[in-house]
């Protein structure tokens, strides 16, 4: 009961991460637009159609190469393009085609936007079009840059100060910065606040995975960690729903931010994990948490930390040297992920899988935008398709193991990437099915790597390992959006060719990741490790990361704490 309450309280906030990650999909939309004009309109002409206002013309707009002819009340006739406007010298007749002299002017009177779908976006708010278009294109990459930095910073802080404090801070930060985004006064303050929002959102997601992994037992660890992704996907579906109902960007942002307010009000009740407390030798605090778990789970005789870990009170006084004390108090950093060849090889492989999973996820998502239809429904389905993906992953991970599930799905995604390149363009249905299969397969690998990373590394660097992996993941997510913008730069190159290039890149990296994964150890059914020595031995390499010998019963203690509250085990196991 205790673990279930802690779990659902923690993963509920993961929806907020999914919300903020995808919020810019509708918030930064660029609608149809043309240059503004000086004066009042008396008539509007678009090809063979005439109207009394420009709002009536937007339904006929089909291409950015079109222009609109307007006649003002003072008799002037203007041709309105997207980034310039022309004043006709001869104004005797209002006609769409004109061969006479024209004077070209910049858009000094602003722009006119099509508000039939969105009443307001950040693009229309600050005129992020034409020569300022690059600012709009930086909105999502800068957010992902904040995600990258936040993953490393908060992953390290969680290992130093504890998971509980980071969860408190990042939860409150998501709400505060989320609301603050809606009240920013210009583009630059908007980007800065969203950057801070990205940092705390990423920090929460990274630490939440570690938090729930350390609280649930071996039996439930797979399903518990994987379904954090399911709540993230639910956040994506909420974005689609709110985007459909609210068409003003700052109101849209407020509604998205208050969606997880209940968690902010109760997150202060979440306890620290016993694993982290034990790694910091705070045995009394760990015992208090275990006693609380016992009361909630109605266990009459709670486990004792002194018996689980075989803590000898006189060991500190007579059995340890000064060097040992220094070692136990050592603050760990990212270099500990490369402390020997076994751990270093593991880290490089894990980082490659993180990068490949993120890049593949966004490349396949990019391919799905050509499906057409309702854009809100498309986004909703993009989130919904992840739910069965994680169910399949959980079943396979529990039956086949983490490594044996990861390898075939990475190789499968590589084969699908190659297959897509040979499907003729006329076979749209087959292309769509192949893209969805690719997204499904890379989604399994992408979801699995969170749990696998947490199980491959010991408690003292677990948050740091997941955080650094998430950093590599965000490098991929920062790179991926730019393939969308290559179409406007490489106008001679078809968009589908650009997409195919990135899919081939994903395929090659997925194949390489699948091959390297063979060398990783299997973690199914094994207790979480506490020290780098134990983590190294799990890879069947006896070289130690330090001279310190771990406690004789530390592995058994870890297993007992994980299983506590779910099934009783004898203290002498």
Q: For residue 88, which phi and psi values (nearest 5 degrees)?
A: -75, 140
Mean pLDDT within 212-237 = 81
**Is the same domain home to 75 and 155?**
no
**Is the same domain home to 407 and 500?**
yes
Check pLDDT > 70 for residue 326: no
Residue 550 lies in a domain: no
Of the residues 73, 92, 116, the one at which a domain ends: 116
This prediction's pTM = 0.77
Q: How many CA atoms lie within 13 A of 561 on its CB side?
A: 32
| DSSP code for 527 | P
| DSSP code for 23 | T
**Is the same domain home to 84 and 22?**
no
Residue 276 lies in a domain: no
Q: For residue 340, which phi and psi values (nearest 5 degrees)?
A: -150, 175
**Is the same domain home to 409 and 493?**
yes
pLDDT at position 477 is 79
Is residue 484 very low, low, confident or very high in pLDDT (cuts 50, 70, 90)?
low
Return the percentage of the chain with pLDDT > 90, whole number.
Answer: 8
For the chain, what is the mean pLDDT? 78
Of the residues 116, 148, 166, the one at which a domain ends: 116
Range of the domain at 184: 1-30+122-270
Is residue 29 very low, low, confident or very high in pLDDT (cuts 50, 70, 90)?
confident
Number of domains in the chain: 3
Matching residue, tokens 């990741």: 513
Residue 416 lies in a domain: yes
Of 167-171, 231-235, 372-376, 468-472, the one with minimum mean pLDDT is 372-376
Question: Residues of 292-303 as b/e, b for ≥16 C-beta within 10 angstroms?
Answer: ebbeeeebeebb
Of the residues 99, 116, 133, the one at which a domain ends: 116
Q: Do residues 199 and 223 touch, judged by C-beta distance below 8 A?
A: no
Check pLDDT > 90 for residue 196: yes
Residue 300 lies in a domain: no
**Is the same domain home to 501 and 361?**
yes
**Is the same domain home to 426 and 510?**
yes
Mean pLDDT within 410-434 = 79
Reported as a single tens digit per residue, the pLDDT across 488-530 is 554 444 545 555 666 677 778 888 888 888 888 888 878 878 8
Reported as a single tens digit per residue, the pLDDT across 238-280 is 988 998 898 899 999 999 998 778 777 777 788 888 888 887 7
**Is the same domain home to 434 and 460?**
yes
**Is the same domain home to 77 and 171?**
no
Residue 299 lies in a domain: no
**Is the same domain home to 111 and 149?**
no
Residue 362 lies in a domain: yes
pLDDT at position 191 is 94
Check pLDDT > 80 for residue 300: no
- CATH number, domain containing residue 455: 1.20.1250.20
Distance between CA atoms of residues 273 and 276, nearest Å: 6
**Is the same domain home to 19 and 43?**
no
**Is the same domain home to 261 and 368?**
no
Residue 379 lies in a domain: yes
Rounded to 5°, the CA angle 97-99-103 comes to 105
Residue 523 lies in a domain: yes
Q: How many CA atoms lie within 13 A of 147 on its CB side?
A: 25
Check pLDDT > 90 for residue 320: no
**Is the same domain home to 401 and 361?**
yes
């Amino acid at each position: 009961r205790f673990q279930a309450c802690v779990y659902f309280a923690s993963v509920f906030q993961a929806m907020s991460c999914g919300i903020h990650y995808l919020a810019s999909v509708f918030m930064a939309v660029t609608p149809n637009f043309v240059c503004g004009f000086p004066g009042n309109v008396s008539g509007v002409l678009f090809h063979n159609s005439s109207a009394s206002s420009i709002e009536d013309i937007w339904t006929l707009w089909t291409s950015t190469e079109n222009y609109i002819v307007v006649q003002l009340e003072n008799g002037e006739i203007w041709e309105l393009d997207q980034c310039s406007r022309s004043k006709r010298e001869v104004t005797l007749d209002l006609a769409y085609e004109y061969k006479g002299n024209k004077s070209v002017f910049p858009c000094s009177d602003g722009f006119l936007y099509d508000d039939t779908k969105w009443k307001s976006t950040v693009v229309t708010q600050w005129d992020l079009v034409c020569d300022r278009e690059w600012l709009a294109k930086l909105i999502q990459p800068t957010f992902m840059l904040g995600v990258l930095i936040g993953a490393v910073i908060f992953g390290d802080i969680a290992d130093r100060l504890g998971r509980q404090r980071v969860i408190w801070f990042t939860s409150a930060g998501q709400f505060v910065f989320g609301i603050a985004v809606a009240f920013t006064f210009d583009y630059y303050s908007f980007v800065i606040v969203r950057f801070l929002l990205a940092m705390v959102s990423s920090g929460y997601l990274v630490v939440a995975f570690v938090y729930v992994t350390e609280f649930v037992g071996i039996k439930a660890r797979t399903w518990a960690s994987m379904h954090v992704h399911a709540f993230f996907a639910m956040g994506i579906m909420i974005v689609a729903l709110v985007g459909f109902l609210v068409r003003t960007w700052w109101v849209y942002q407020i509604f998205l931010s208050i969606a997880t307010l209940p968690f902010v009000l109760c997150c202060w009740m979440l306890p620290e994990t016993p694993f982290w407390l034990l790694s910091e030798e705070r045995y009394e605090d760990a015992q208090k948490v275990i006693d609380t778990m016992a009361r909630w789970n109605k266990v009459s005789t709670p486990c004792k930390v002194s018996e689980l870990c075989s803590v000898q009170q006189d060991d500190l006084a007579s059995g340890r040297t000064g060097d040992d004390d220094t070692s136990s108090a050592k603050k760990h950093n990212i270099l500990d992920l490369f402390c020997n060849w076994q751990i270093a090889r593991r880290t490089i492989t894990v980082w490659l899988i993180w990068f490949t999973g993120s890049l593949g996820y966004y490349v396949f998502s990019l391919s799905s935008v050509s499906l057409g239809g309702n854009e809100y429904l498309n986004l909703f389905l993009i989130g919904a398709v992840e739910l069965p993906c994680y169910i399949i992953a959980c079943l396979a991970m529990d039956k086949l193991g983490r490594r044996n599930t990861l390898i075939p799905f990475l190789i499968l995604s590589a084969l699908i990437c190659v297959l897509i390149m040979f499907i003729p363009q006329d076979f749209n249905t087959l292309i769509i099915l192949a893209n969805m299969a690719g997204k499904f397969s890379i989604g399994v690998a992408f979801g699995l790597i969170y749990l696998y990373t947490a199980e491959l590394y010991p408690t003292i660097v677990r948050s740091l390992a997941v955080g650094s992996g998430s950093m590599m993941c965000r490098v991929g997510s920062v790179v991926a959006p730019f393939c969308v913008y290559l179409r406007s730069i490489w106008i001679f190159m078809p968009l589908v060719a650009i997409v195919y290039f990135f899919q081939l890149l994903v395929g090659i990296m997925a194949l390489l990741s699948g091959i390297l994964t063979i060398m990783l150890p299997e973690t199914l059914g094994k207790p979480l490790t506490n020290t780098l020595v134990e983590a190294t031995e799990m890879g069947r390499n006896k070289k130690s990361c330090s001279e310190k010998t771990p406690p004789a019963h530390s592995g058994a203690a870890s297993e007992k704490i994980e299983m506590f509250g779910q099934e009783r085990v004898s203290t002498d196991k």
